[in-house]
Amino acid sequence: MSNMALALSRDVLQGMQHFRIVIQPMVSAESGNVMGGEALLRWSFEGNDISPEIFIPMLEKEKLIQSVGRWVFDQTACCCMRLVTYIPDFYLTSNVSLQQLSDRQFTSFMKSTMEKYHVDGSHLVAEMTESCMDEQPEELFQFVNDCKAMDIKIALDDFGSGYSSLRMLLQYPSSVIKLDRSLLREMTESEDKMNFISSIVYACHRFGKQVCMEGVETGVQNALIRKCGCDMIQGYYYYRPMEIDDMYRLASIRFSNVQQNGKQG
């Protein structure tokens, strides 16, 4: 582990060596078409990808997540610039750790990065977990307000994975709610649980929030979740996280299909 921690710090300090971004598409629950995606960080150590669940906490512990978070945002904006040329209303989300809220210059960095790549904030979404939203309210509100001013949306990630409360859910300053995949496991068990998810979706919609279901893996889950009224779906059933070039290819195919349909219609 200490070898790994050393290599991780070295790779960050040497210009993000062995790091890359992959993208997992999100589809419309109604049509199954790709609408957006989530940028996910990858790091390889001795030739193998290490789970972010291992190396992200290490980056947080080593206080490196702020500089890594900036790099992730830069890569996200860069990929987004290209994807929007194929799918004009495409959006790309990226994850923001709690510690990044203490990076006072983060939002001005985001602004200059968006200018560098000529990407409008309406194509970007910052994902934050509940723990992010519960702590440091002042820093959170500053971040949220700065994002709002840049037209960047906030998504509440992993809802339902901990002691989530519906009251808080509706109060958090987010316009998208991502339901954790642990809810899916419960949902397929009984009709009551499925009604429970439908109620969450209904409440979110009443408060003007969109809902994305994460972790849909099977046709059965997909059929059930589509009945619950979710707006977006992200899961292996549709797409696994893919290398950036594969994502560009997928978007360009969607672009040609839309053009062809346009010509026929």
Binding residues for ligand C2E, rule: CB under 6 A, are 24, 40-41, 51-53, 56, 72, 94-95, 97, 157-158, 181, 215-217, 234-236, 241
- Per DSSP bridges, beta strands 91-95 and 48-50 are unpaired
**Could you say which of Ca ion, ligand C2E, none residue 103 binds, taking C-beta under 5 to 8 angstroms by partner kind?**
none
Least distance (Å) between residue 201 CB and ligand C2E? 18
**Could you say which of ligand C2E, Ca ion, none residue 217 binds, taking C-beta under 5 to 8 angstroms by partner kind?**
ligand C2E
Give the residue with the Cβ less far from ligand C2E, 53 or 192. Answer: 53
Using CB under 5 A, which residues numbered 207 to 226 contact Ca ion? Answer: 214
Q: Which long-range contacts (CB under 8 A, 24 or more apart) does 153-156 make?
A: 153/91, 153/122, 153/124, 153/125, 153/126, 154/125, 154/126, 154/128, 155/93, 155/125, 155/126, 155/127, 155/128, 155/212, 156/127, 156/128, 156/129, 156/130
**Could you say which of Ca ion, ligand C2E, none residue 236 binds, taking C-beta under 5 to 8 angstroms by partner kind?**
ligand C2E
Least distance (Å) between residue 265 CB and ligand C2E? 33
Least distance (Å) between residue 32 CB and ligand C2E? 15
Q: Should residue 130 be labelled a site residue for Ca ion when binding is judged by CB under 5 A? A: no
Using CB under 5 A, which residues numbered 63 to 122 contact Ca ion? Answer: 95
**Could you say which of Ca ion, ligand C2E, none residue 192 binds, taking C-beta under 5 to 8 angstroms by partner kind?**
none
CA distances from 152 to 52, 130, 134 (A): 24, 18, 20
Give the residue with the Cβ less far from ligand C2E, 160 or 241. Answer: 241
**Could you say which of Ca ion, ligand C2E, none residue 242 binds, taking C-beta under 5 to 8 angstroms by partner kind?**
none
Least distance (Å) between residue 46 CB and Ca ion? 26
By the 8 A CB rule, do 122 and 151 touch? yes
Reference 107, options 61, 157, 70, 52; nearest CA is: 70
DSSP conformational letter for 112 = H
Where helices occur in the chain by DSSP H, the ranges are 2-13, 52-61, 65-86, 106-117, 130-134, 137-149, 166-171, 181-187, 191-206, 219-227, 244-264
Give the residue with the Cβ less far from ligand C2E, 60 or 146. Answer: 60
CA distance 229 to 29: 8
**Could you say which of Ca ion, ligand C2E, none residue 40 binds, taking C-beta under 5 to 8 angstroms by partner kind?**
ligand C2E
Q: 158, 159, 211, 239: which one contacts Ca ion (CB under 5 A)?
A: 158
Least distance (Å) between residue 20 CB and Ca ion? 17
Least distance (Å) between residue 99 CB and ligand C2E? 9
**Could you say which of ligand C2E, Ca ion, none residue 174 binds, taking C-beta under 5 to 8 angstroms by partner kind?**
none
Exposed e or buried b per residue across 156-178, where buried means at least 16 C-beta atoms within 10 angstroms of its C-beta: bbbbbbeebeeeebeebebbbbb
| Residue listed under structure tokens 């649980």 | 193
Binding site for Ca ion (CB under 5 A): 95, 127, 157-158, 214
